[in-house]
Structure 1
Amino acid sequence: MTAKPLLPSAFVAATAVGISLAASAPAMTEVPQVKPVIAKICTNCHTAEANTLRGYFDNVAFKAKTIQVRIDNSVELIRFDEDEIKVVNSQGATGDGELLRKTPKGHEVKVEYTERAGGRTAVRLIEKPPVTVSSDMLITTAGVERLVALGPEKGRYFLFDSRPLPRFQEGAIPTAVNLPFPSFDKLVERLPKDKNALIVFYCSGPTCNMSPGSATKAKKLGYTNIKVFKDGLPAWSVKNYAVLSPQALQEAWLDKGLPHVLLDVRSPKEAAKGFINGAVSFPAAWSAKLIKNLPPKDKKTPIIVYGGPDVKLAKKVAGQLLKAGYGNVKVLEGGFAGWQAAGYAVASGTLAAKAVYVPKPRPGEMAVAEFKKYAAELPPDVLIIDVRNGDEVKSGMIKGAVNIPVEELTTRAGEIPKNKLLIAHCSTGVRAEMAYHALKELGFPSVGYLNATVTFGKDGSYVLSVP
């Protein structure tokens, strides 16, 4: 049996019909690139500093004493000592490494480190605190809801989304216009001419500086009636749907292959005349019952709803989805008619009857079935590396696997062959992912990891459960 080199993870794309798209590419000589030390979005307010990383907290492994920080498409692994590192949470509380257990995944952080034998060691981690906005400039979710219900003309307001265009295209508050903070000065003409008009800025939530930054710029230009929706889109999405244009659906979702569920709420007869590729038949007349057949409720599952000329049906279904517990619901502006008018492709035939949502795997993540295949019959050109600690493997290991704790990969790299497919695993997937990044950083060409909880038997047996 011959193992194939691990290619970029295949995934089931955004369509509810579950089309499998496998990524493949010809062999190429990789050109070493300088890894970023600060996320692009952070550069709007900060500059790169020596011995400092700015990005998103991705994971922590206490047994490996390692923190994983994501900086755009790059990942950094930083060692830490629980008693030495100082952690400042978003509320300003200070503690030692134990406080890392409470750091939210995806939260923006600043990590200060020192260079030591064996690599970088974190000495301080600071969670990004909520931005400060004067109370007289704040507007609540309820306040924005009232304005949106009235509309810009009756409500006499201008609502601006301060996030970059790609984020705006993924979904925005109804009636909002995109005025990205990074491009504010170039697009300032989007502001109203009336300096006394009510203008509201929002962005990605309490720790995002873009809407307060936009408000500051507008104030300097002489605008006198400025509000900041500090809680932003995350707060809005708890009870309200977002909207996106046909162009945004095509460019931000379909072209990029972002996983989502697309629901066509028109009648089967109407939908049969033409629909958006990948849509699921979800007639509004039966939506209350059909909701039970949707993927498990998850506030992160993107669900995009569209209908016909009567947008009330799409909005009705979106409201039902929100009440049912889905927290990432969007409505396509203009519905199917708007899609056609924009000149985008129309599918024909029979719509899918069941919605399927499969999140896009993280880089290097291996399918469970593929891992089981290799574990059952280990080919000569595959090596399974158990990156747990020595005391953990005493309870059992997969037959044929080798044990190299993740923190020892760098010093023991000489023991690892470069002509094999390397598959890292641990007990939860956290250290396995760290091992994947460490091995790629060390120059190993074919690497994957198992993202699953694994329990082991001393006879080499194991039980997997996928998160």
Structure 2
Amino acid sequence: MKANRIFSMLLIVALAGALLSGCAGHQAAAPAESAFKPFHDVVDMAFVEQHVTIPMAENVMLIDSRPYKPKYIEGHIPMAVSIPDSQFAKMTDKLPADKNALLIFYCGGLKCALSHKSAAKAEALGYKNVKVFAEGYPKWMSVKSHYPSVSAEWVKSQMDKGTDMVLVDSRPKRKQYDQGHIPSAISIPDMQFDEHKGQLPPDKNKLLVFYCGGLHCTLSHKSAAKAITMGYTNVKVFAEGYPAWVAYAGKPAATAKTTAVKAGQEEGSIDHDEFRRILAEAPESILLVDVRDAEEYKRGTLKSAINIPVDELEGKIKTLPSDKPVVFICGTGARSGESFYMVQDLRPELKNVYYLDGELTIGKDGSYTIKKPQ
């Protein structure tokens, strides 16, 4: 009995030792799971807002520690530089030479360790003024007046997908936009924003992307702020702008230098023979707009014509292109003429706009006849 009692005690001691050893082993593994330590110098939104300027001061760098794709390209704090924490060692050449420069790291919010890790790495390199904006990008976007910046890759991908967005060039029209712009972009120079803001869509939830001449250009940021003040809720800025687009996507779209359409006798009208020639030889060179009612349009129209009833034209006038002539047609020249003058009032910058003045009869097969106005 005594031997059994001793054996039982030894067994209990052995089991206890094994449990303690297992616990110790588990505790030893814990640091690997919780190796992240918050950086010692954390700043708030007010501090970041104070230092985000356009352009940024030479001795200040805002650094996004999140992955470049998909996070940074689809939205980042304006003027932030992308140095993903996973690539930090390979990208230290992007850091300023001055070790006293202010470095502000951020990532995806309070649960994100990337900015803290990168900040510690920067400090280890000898940088003396390193901060972490721990609340990061989510906190930035929680402020109604704030907007994100996007990159050329994101803009191109949205264009390729056919995303319903309005791309706005905030640079001066004649000196810059007309010399080259991103395809599909409309021109609303920031200095004439109030004059041309009617080109913006009535839907305040529509995606608006503003751009101008690069990171030193303030125009797109000013226009974006104005759009937000107007109530638009989905506003972004392609801050790297036109130069980055050219570098990424190649040659920009220049405003087409369209051959002037031969005019008719009445102001804004197109010559009848010219009209026939264009439809026969190059119908794609113009935008032909049938402004009759939808029922009239369905009964027969010209093959290349689209239908925008004159009653709906004002709301859609911003969609008219600036890179090719626009020609309005109807049955008698009355509604097409009204459309021409509406464009003159609402989009005076469109110069290649005409209407067919005369009696136009269209067959179901797309054949047509034109008679001179009485």
More strand by share: 1
TM-score (norm 1): 0.39
Could you say which structure has the larger radius of gyration?
2
Report which structure shows greater RCO (CA 8 Å, sep ≥6).
Answer: 1
TM-score (norm 2): 0.47
